[in-house]
Amino acid sequence: MKAVRNVLEYLEGNGVKYIFGIPAGSVNAFYDQLLDFPEMPPIVTKHEGAASYMAASYAKYSRQLSVCIGSSGPGGTNLLTGAANAMREHLPILFLTGAVPVSTMGLNASQELDAQSLFQPVTKYSVTVLKPEDLLAEVAKATQIALSGVPGPVHVAMPIDVQMGNVEHLSMPKLEVERTAPISNELVKRVADRLMQKKKGFIFAGQGVRNSVAQVVELAELLDWPIVATPVAKGLFRGDHPLFSGVFGFAGNEQTSLLVNEGDAETLMVLGSSLGETATSNYNPNLAKDRFVIQLDFDDTVFGRKYPVNIPVHGDMTDSLSQIIDELKDRGLTRPETVKLVERDQGTERDAEYNTKNVLLKLQELLPASTRYTIDIGEFMAYVIHHMEVLEEDTFDINVHFGAMGSGLSAAIGSTLAEPDRPVVALTGDGCFFMHGMEILTAKEYNLPVLFVVMNNARLGMVYQGHTLQYKRSHPSFEQEPVNIAAMAEALNIPNFRVDTFDDLSQNMLDALTGLNGPAILEVALVDNNIPPMGDRVKFLSSFGK
């Protein structure tokens, strides 16, 4: 039996549903054997980088291991950005790359690359397998590492001859995922002691609470404390919950900023946030100033990076919160009959002006409330964070953390594969589209009903705005000759519509582009010269050189 077949049996046996990537000579043996595994189809993309973003989104929403594969050399380097992104988002992805035969290593073979060394800084584990009989064991080891403790990406380089080497039938290794140890009763009581003092405070929630939203809300209601979300956590909490304040950080809300900067909270409870730049509004010192800080996370490396922590709690988020909630209830704490209404920004009013804000609000009005929006990187992202409402939980995917242009396009595909019944809209810009826009063909080939909304302002909008704020000018090359993206979609035989005025947005038009047996493109041709609502980021950029 070929060594690579054992790998495919192992992956299928552990619930892998899709293989994202692009076939090539150094992984041909893998794809040849994959023909015998019809329940694990390959998702063949147009670029390996896009495949890595799809794998990330699939891992996030399926809560399972993703597998992504690329060739030796350029295929591997194209996957590196996705690996770094997955490391930042704590997503379990097994990256497989081909490699030149062991006998030709160091001889300048075609597409030779030391992928192991390149992947080491952006994965939890990276290895090159040199013997066929070791391939299965290394893939199993990498998979266990990816799923254990703090989840994250891993990488295995597979030389061609190692994949094709014949091995005796090996017994399948058992996947034993190591979970984070539960927090001690002493630590639970210590946290509860502080919380029972009923001092004023607020909960600061990051992406680490994605699978623990019910527990966060229950704790907030017990304490009668406001909930503040980071930009990447937008969409996890319904906007109509009386205790939800809004977003703090990049493009955050004004009342939430006042709550953090000028509020009388004495306790800050940080849940699932590494307190990075975009989450803390450029490391705003007011976040923790004169406050008692309790921080819960499954990653103990986040404690004390920038802000002092009085009580660090290292453990699984759901389990830790459940233990704390139970302790508070045992001490007699109960949810008030009526929780207080947190002061927050009034809902954004929409008028008929043809600008980014009004277009996004109109789109949301016309699309189902359950729609998940995967947000790419561009100036429109600030409008999404600041203005769009969260009508149902887990309806925004905003990757401002790592900020890879084009990731939102592929995230929509991964999300649709993970949750086929949820409507998905990718919000992207022309700059991102020109990087990874051909993945609309991937969506077409796999009959995925994603609506790709392209905000086309014929410029690199975020770069333009940043330079204009920082230097009071921008290079003319940031603006480009306008391109009719709807016409491109037409040439690809993909349903499309081009919006040139606000009146072009209608229910009938959107109904014609959604619920199809494949993707559609809605191009919004719009140059909006308003400064995006980036919050303190505007002051940050404007302050340089002063």
Q: DSSP assignment, residue 2?
A: B
pLDDT for the residue numbered 69: 98
| Token couple for 72 | 């030796």
pLDDT for the residue numbered 500: 97
pLDDT for the residue numbered 433: 95
Beta strands per DSSP E along 221-365: 227-229, 244-247, 267-271, 292-297, 311-314
Beta strands per DSSP E along 272-345: 292-297, 311-314
Which 3 state secondary structure label does DSSP give 11? helix
pLDDT score of 339 more than 80: no
pLDDT score of 293 more than 60: yes
129 alpha carbon, distance to own chain's centre:
30
User: Is residue 296 within 8 Å of 273, Cβ to Cβ?
Assistant: no
Beta strands per DSSP E along 160-266: 201-205, 227-229, 244-247
| pLDDT, tens only, 434-450 | 999 999 999 999 999 99
Residues near 370 by Cβ (< 8 Å), separated by ≥ 6? 391, 392, 395, 422, 423
Percent of the chain with pLDDT over 70: 95
pLDDT for the residue numbered 462: 61
Average pLDDT over residues 83-99: 97
CA distance 237 to 214: 9
Average pLDDT over residues 310-331: 97
Best CA proximity match to 87, nearest among 38, 146, 28? 146
pLDDT score of 480 more than 90: no
Q: DSSP assignment, residue 303?
A: T
| Token couple for 429 | 């810009």
Between 218-222, 297-301, 421-425, 477-481, the lowest mean confidence (pLDDT) is in 477-481
pLDDT for the residue numbered 417: 98
CA distance 261 to 288: 9
pLDDT for the residue numbered 340: 76
| pLDDT, tens only, 26-75 | 999 999 999 999 999 999 999 999 999 999 999 999 999 999 999 999 99
Banded pLDDT at 543 (limits 50, 70, 90): low
Q: What is the dihedral of CA 342, 427, 409, 533, to 10 degrees?
A: -60
pLDDT for the residue numbered 91: 97
pLDDT score of 94 more than 90: yes
Between 50-64, 284-298, 326-340, the lowest mean confidence (pLDDT) is in 326-340
Average model confidence (pLDDT) for the chain?
A: 93
Banded pLDDT at 402 (limits 50, 70, 90): confident
CA distance 48 to 69: 8
pLDDT for the residue numbered 110: 80
68 CB-side CA count, 13 A: 34
Residue with tokens 């990447």: 232
Between the alpha carbon of residue 128 and those of residues 52, 90, 114, 333, 515, the distances in Å are 20, 23, 9, 55, 44
Banded pLDDT at 477 (limits 50, 70, 90): low
Best CA proximity match to 525, nearest among 497, 492, 488? 497
Average pLDDT over residues 245-269: 95
Between 151-160, 170-179, 272-281, 340-349, the lowest mean confidence (pLDDT) is in 340-349
Q: Which structural domains are found in the chain, ordered by start?
A: 3-164 (3.40.50.970), 185-330 (3.40.50.1220), 356-542 (3.40.50.970)
Between 126-130, 367-371, 541-545, the lowest mean confidence (pLDDT) is in 541-545
DSSP 349-366: P--S--SHHHHHHHHHHH
pLDDT for the residue numbered 149: 95
Best CA proximity match to 246, nearest among 257, 427, 31? 257
Banded pLDDT at 535 (limits 50, 70, 90): low
| Token couple for 50 | 């896009």
Banded pLDDT at 538 (limits 50, 70, 90): low
